[in-house]
Structure 1
Amino acid sequence: MDSLNLHEFMLWVLSWLALYLGFRYVLRSSLKLKKRHLPPGPSGWPLLGSLPLLGAMPHVTLYNMYKKYGPIVYLKLGTSDMVVASTPAAAKAFLKTLDINFSNRPGNAGATYIAYDSQDMVWAAYGGRWKMERKVCNLHMLGGKALEDWQPVRDAEMGFMLQNILKHSQRGETVNVPDLLNICAANMIGQIILSKRVFETEGDEANEFKDMVVELMTSAGYFNIGDFIPSLAWMDLQGIQRGMKKLHKRWDALIARMIEEHQSTAKQRASRPDFLDIVMSQRDNCDGQGGRLSDVHIKALLLNLFTAGTDTSSSVIEWTLAELINNPKLLKRVQHEMDTVIGRERRLKESDLANLPYFVAVCKEGFRKHPSTPLSLPRVSTEACEVNGHYIPKNTRLMVNIWGIGRDPEVWEKPEEFNPERFVGSKIDPRGNDFELIPFGAGRRICAGTRMGITMVEYNLGSLIHAFNWDLPPNQDGLNMDEAFGLALQKAVPLVAMASPRLPLHLY
């Protein structure tokens, strides 16, 4: 055999050997994947995967997929893997048993273009700086002791809101409930962070703030194609990134102005520093891993506190009050309990809440049926793992359908009904340990403001119910209870109602 033929023969042998080895590898990989069963789910479209299937109400779509495929649904979204947990047991498996493996967030457009490129506490990587920010927030704003210290602030701001509602009532005007709730919540948070009320009255500035909060929560909840097919992100096919960049500029300008005004009055707070004073003092402190709290980190943290702190609690209060207005007998029962425990010669205090079991059950029912975050913020697996016999690859996104768990007839009897009785005498609690009711999430990345959120929902809603009777506007038969999807679940039609005072006027 001459050298040329030998060369061709060797190429032929190597080609067939490569083909054989390649076929063997594919076969072995296929067999291995068969052993590593992915969770069931829809097949999806070419390239886009299941993205087009999600529709305008992804939480409802994913709930329907759960009914078809089971507790853990696997979705191929573009080039990304995602699993959705839709039962308490599945949520517990991911958020408790495998909590550390799912302690990080995946990058996305919202984190990049709104949250200062993941420099905030919500989207930050799990690590030293995140732990430092969380610790500072717990010690000085969101933890139990801090909540007690700031109780007079919440009481004073509630007084302003009740006065405002009384003025509308005396003029025979309807009350735009979410507007007033957002002003009250923003002022409560503003007093804690900045030692000042953010908005003195209703008006254009307060309306713009509310619109910015709603826009942020809405845009951050979108399933953005660029997040799941990175090669297409530059095209911004849905225009989401352009909107986020514009919104970020507005937020950045507002927060920068807040910080600048705050620094100009620093000497006045020398003996009683507020939250921002304490955070600013942390700029030069190491987080234990060589990082430092920069001015960008501080602005990103304020963005978290003002947006999540106002919208999430306000939306639950709005939904729950709407349910009570639609069910006058329930409203009267709550008011009867309050009159028995508190009377009508003083306002409700936070210390009264422990003695109002039926009202607390009403709040839990609000958290169940109308969780402020219908789908949990996404997490991502650090390593491949197995859940309930299903193989979960590395870098798989995880979402928990909190809304779906709250509507599941396997978990709740007649879940479409607003029925606080289901929580009377129940030990189920929304603080992250009972996976039937996790409106704030669970595990390491549970919402940092869980305690504060529950306190604000119970105190603010309780004050509105104790201080006023609530009725439908004239010539209106019922309230529209349609949802508008976003990171927070808004009412599609804001709650507007008539209020009439129940207490002596000098208490407002």
Structure 2
Amino acid sequence: MGLRRGKGLQEEYNNSGKSLLVKKYLGAVAFNNITRLAFGKRFVNSEGLMDEQGQEFKAIVSNGLKLGASLAMAEHIPWLRWLFPLEEEAFAKHGARRDRLTRAIMEEHTLARQKSGGAKQHFVDALLTLQDQYDLSEDTIIGLLWDMITAGMDTTAISVEWAMAELIKNPRVQEKAQEELDRVIGYQRVLTESDFSNLPYLQSVAKEALRLHPPTPLMLPHRANSNVKVGGYDIPKGSNVHVNVWAVARDAAVWESPTEFQPERFLEVDVDMKGHDFRLLPFGAGRRVCPGAQLGINLVTSMLGHLLHHFSWAPPNGLKPEEIDMSENPGLVTYMRTPLQAVPTPRLPTHLYKRVAVDM
């Protein structure tokens, strides 16, 4: 896979003290990561220009989130449903548009496999290769692909933006994470996934960011398939249930100093965040736990590691760290109300910022 290791940031930061919109770069990285994992495709060229298929892809994702938000409002506030009618025609058009693009990409992979005589290690190829063995319909494959895409793209960028805001607001934590990166990786190479196990503090930073700022604060809705009692409350069969993981992660009865960004807490106590410890549930739990939980953790850890290893980060000129706006924009996913602006300072030799080409 072709990997652009900080090159865009380096190019834009040739002028000292330049403030950058962090969200812009995080969104691009998350988009490239997910599309390359799912489809083995890079829709953005070395100049940063997105091709026509990539633009269509992003438009479909954006439209899907918009339609999903209107559906959630209609589903979960019944007495306001008349204000949010379900746009069945719009949903049908969106589905057809999504399926048309996905089938075109699937056909490209089928032809490539027939020509090469084997399948590459991309998610779409894995699904197509196992289609007959597990009786997977084309619709099922398309659904699985888009579950991965919609669950992993925006949420990853959101989580890393919150983490970077906390790191800039807490210079002590940023410096401690960089000291660990410098000790383990040094200044002559870049971070790889095999380094994660030797970077416990970086992993704790990612975990603490997901605790304080879960990208889906109420998780995805669950529906009770029988009458149950939870915490003394009766939940009738068919009820839609949301779990407020944001509140659980900030509960003073569960966490010491719950509103403070303290990654050290996870060095002292090992807390699982893949559904086994109910104090921390950014990916849900049980049979409906996010199937891409480990992928999400790895992407967040990798993005944070590269950003901290390659650059030191400070607030824009004239702004003190404690003045960074940490308020949230309400919605299905929790964006920063004020997108993060930051000033990066390169830390590594110039050659480590160059594009590294790897076969996809």
Pick the TM interval, shorter chain.
Answer: 0.7 to 0.9
Q: Tell which deviates more after alignment, 331-340 or 431-440.
A: 331-340
Aligned letter for 1:403? W
Counterpart contact for 1:441–1:447, Cα < 8 Å: yes
Change (3 A) 1:261 1:177: farther
- Deviations 1:401-427 (CA, angstroms, capped at 9, x unpaired): 011111212222232222222222211
Change (3 A) 1:342 1:228: closer
Pairing of 1:61-140 with structure 2 (within 5 A): none
1:320 aligns with 2:163: yes
1:267 aligns with 2:110: no
Counterpart contact for 1:174–1:496, Cα < 8 Å: yes
1:167 aligns with 2:14: no
- Aligned twin of 2:324: 479
1:505 aligns with 2:353: no
Counterpart contact for 2:44–2:50, Cα < 8 Å: no
Change (3 A) 1:253 1:231: farther
User: How far apart are the structure 1 equivalents of 2:197 and 2:143?
Assistant: 35
- Aligned twin of 1:465: 308
User: How far apart are the structure 2 equivalents of 1:228 and 1:322?
Assistant: 32
Q: Tell which deviates more after alignment, 466-475 or 251-260.
A: 251-260
- Aligned twin of 2:84: 238
Aligned letter for 2:294? R
- Aligned twin of 1:351: 194
Change (3 A) 1:176 1:338: same
User: How far apart are the structure 2 equivalents of 1:475 and 1:481?
Assistant: 17
Q: How many residues end up aligned between the 2 structures?
A: 345
Which residues of structure 1 form unaligned runs of 5+?
A: 1-152
- Aligned twin of 2:35: 190
Change (3 A) 1:260 1:455: same
User: How far apart are the structure 1 equivalents of 2:248 and 2:161?
Assistant: 21
1:448 aligns with 2:291: yes
Q: CA RMSD in A?
A: 2.9
- Aligned twin of 1:495: 340
SS at match of 2:279: coil
Q: Sequence identity of aligned pairs in percent? A: 37
- Aligned twin of 1:177: 22
- Deviations 1:270-300 (CA, angstroms, capped at 9, x unpaired): 3343332231234444x5xxxx422222222
- Deviations 1:346-405 (CA, angstroms, capped at 9, x unpaired): 212222222222222211110110011111211122222333444332222221101111
Q: CA deviation at 1:337?
A: 1.9
Change (3 A) 1:197 1:315: same
Counterpart contact for 1:182–1:210, Cα < 8 Å: no
Change (3 A) 1:224 1:433: closer
Q: CA deviation at 1:455?
A: 0.9
User: How far apart are the structure 1 equivalents of 2:96 and 2:48?
Assistant: 24
Change (3 A) 1:256 1:498: farther
Counterpart contact for 1:213–1:311, Cα < 8 Å: no
Counterpart contact for 1:217–1:488, Cα < 8 Å: no
SS at match of 1:424: helix
User: How far apart are the structure 1 equivalents of 2:252 and 2:308?
Assistant: 30
Q: CA deviation at 1:458?
A: 0.9
1:363 to 187, 197, 206: 206
Change (3 A) 1:228 1:441: closer
User: How far apart are the structure 1 equivalents of 2:72 and 2:261?
Assistant: 33
Aligned letter for 2:198? N
- Deviations 1:474-508 (CA, angstroms, capped at 9, x unpaired): 34444322212333221223223222211111112
- Aligned twin of 1:109: none
Change (3 A) 1:451 1:388: same
SS at match of 2:6: helix
- Aligned twin of 2:183: 340
TM-score normalised by L of structure 2? 0.84
Change (3 A) 1:256 1:482: farther
User: How far apart are the structure 2 equivalents of 1:208 and 1:419?
Assistant: 41
1:382 aligns with 2:229: no
User: How far apart are the structure 2 equivalents of 1:492 and 1:219?
Assistant: 21
Which residues of structure 2 form unaligned runs of 5+?
A: 354-360
Aligned letter for 2:12? H
Q: CA deviation at 1:316?
A: 0.8
Q: CA deviation at 1:222?
A: 5.2
Change (3 A) 1:475 1:222: farther
Pairing of 1:50-61 with structure 2 (within 5 A): none
SS at match of 1:339: helix
User: How far apart are the structure 1 equivalents of 2:258 and 2:69?
Assistant: 24
Pairing of 1:144-159 with structure 2 (within 5 A): 153=1, 156-157=2-3
Change (3 A) 1:369 1:305: same
Counterpart contact for 2:119–2:126, Cα < 8 Å: no
Q: Tell which deviates more after alignment, 260-269 or 310-319.
A: 260-269
- Aligned twin of 2:358: none
- Aligned twin of 1:303: 146
SS at match of 1:444: helix
Counterpart contact for 1:179–1:207, Cα < 8 Å: no
- Aligned twin of 1:407: 250
TM-score normalised by L of structure 1? 0.61
Q: CA deviation at 1:208?
A: 7.2
Change (3 A) 1:369 1:217: farther
SS at match of 1:170: coil
Change (3 A) 1:315 1:443: same
Change (3 A) 1:171 1:253: farther
SS at match of 2:217: coil
Aligned letter for 2:114? K
Aligned letter for 2:327? D
